[in-house]
């Protein structure tokens, strides 16, 4: 039986910043003596991650995995693009996405030890970023798209559509990757955000000397452009700008989408 508690492990992690497994091993080897365990971790070069945790993790890799009727997009963060492109880092991002697709978003915690180990090995602040899982119900299809650079995913998309094909779902996913919409429909845009933008555009239009009688129509036109930038259904399809996403869907319907982009 171990001569230490879970609280001792937590204390040692806070003292040294080392991973959970490393802390447990150190306590095992020092018969539960926290000070000796901390010294051992320092000697092994496994201490110091606590300081790394304060550094910004603005780099990373994203992964997209489809498993049956579910798909997951996951972000794994780090500090440098050198680490982000490493094989073990990319493999862990893929493993996280596969786990989420199969089990759900909470399943990322099952790889906490692996993340701790990688943090110690690569000596960077590594953490899980955004995690999304999409599930297709009966009559729906799910698909993904992953844009890669230098061997790692940098832009991952998942989309669920109803009444359409996997090919259509994939085309929509590719569009989302490049157009980066924030919302599916106008109804999803927060009312206060719409009101603020409309008021701003009214002020701009007045300052430009636009006639008061035409102001409402002018603002409506500019609001349409504003919606087109951030609302998926309003956007022009990236491969055919004469067609909107709403138009290319026909009788199909986008149920949900998710996107994660490195550094966004």
Q: What is the pLDDT of residue 120?
A: 83
The model's pTM is 0.76
Report domain extents, the chain: 6-52, 59-185+232-261, 190-230
Q: Residues 92, 115: contact at Cβ < 8 Å? A: yes
Residue 204 and residue 93: Cα distance in Å, rounded? 45
- CATH class in words for 190-230: mainly alpha
Cα 193 to its chain centre, rounded Å, is: 23
Does residue 189 register a pLDDT over 70?
A: yes
Mean pLDDT of the chain: 90
- Given this structure, which CATH class describes domain 6-52? mainly alpha
Contact indicator for 142, 48 with CB cutoff of 8 Å: no
pLDDT of residue 163: 96
Q: Are 59-185+232-261 and 190-230 the same fold in CATH?
A: no
Tens digits of residue pLDDT in 48-72: 655 555 555 578 999 999 999 999 9
Q: Which CATH number fits domain 59-185+232-261: 1.10.1200.10, 3.60.21.10, 3.30.479.20, 1.10.1670.10?
A: 3.30.479.20
H-type alpha helices, the chain:
6-16, 20-29, 34-43, 49-52, 81-84, 87-103, 112-122, 166-179, 191-207, 212-230, 245-249
Higher-scoring residue by pLDDT: 3, 261: 261
Task: Please return the burial class of 197, using the count of CB atoms within 10 Å of its CB with bins 0-12, 13-18 and 19+.
Answer: middle
Top-confidence residue, 263 or 190: 190
Positive/negative CA dihedral, 72, 78, 82, 86? negative
Q: Give the pLDDT confidence of 5-44 residue by residue, as tens digits.
A: 888 888 888 777 777 888 899 999 999 999 898 888 877 7
């Amino acid at each position: 039986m171990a001569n230490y508690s879970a609280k001792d492990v937590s204390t040692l992690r806070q003292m040294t910043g080392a991973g959970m497994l490393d802390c447990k091993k150190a306590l095992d080897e020092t018969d539960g003596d926290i000070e000796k365990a901390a010294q051992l971790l320092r000697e092994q070069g496994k201490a110091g991650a606590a300081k790394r945790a304060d550094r910004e993790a603005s780099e990373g890799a994203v992964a997209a995995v489809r498993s049956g009727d579910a798909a997951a997009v996951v972000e794994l963060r780090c500090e440098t693009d050198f680490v982000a492109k490493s094989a073990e880092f990319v493999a862990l991002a893929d493993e996280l996405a596969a786990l989420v697709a199969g089990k759900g978003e909470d399943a990322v915690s099952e790889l906490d030890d692996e993340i701790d180990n990688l943090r110690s090995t690569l000596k960077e602040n590594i953490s899980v970023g955004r995690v999304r899982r999409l599930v297709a119900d009966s009559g729906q299809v799910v698909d993904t798209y992953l844009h890669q650079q230098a061997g790692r995913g940098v832009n991952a998309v998942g989309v669920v559509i109803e009444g359409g094909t996997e090919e259509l779902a994939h085309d929509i996913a590719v569009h989302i990757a490049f157009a980066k919409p924030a919302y599916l429909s106008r109804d999803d845009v927060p009312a206060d955000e719409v009101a603020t933008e409309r008021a701003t555009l009214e002020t701009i239009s007045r300052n430009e000397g636009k006639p008061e009688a035409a102001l409402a129509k002018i603002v409506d036109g500019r609001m349409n452009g504003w919606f087109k930038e951030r609302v998926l259904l309003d956007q022009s399809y990236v491969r055919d700008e004469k067609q909107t996403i709403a138009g290319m869907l026909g009788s199909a319907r986008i149920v949900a989408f998710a996107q994660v982009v490195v550094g966004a």
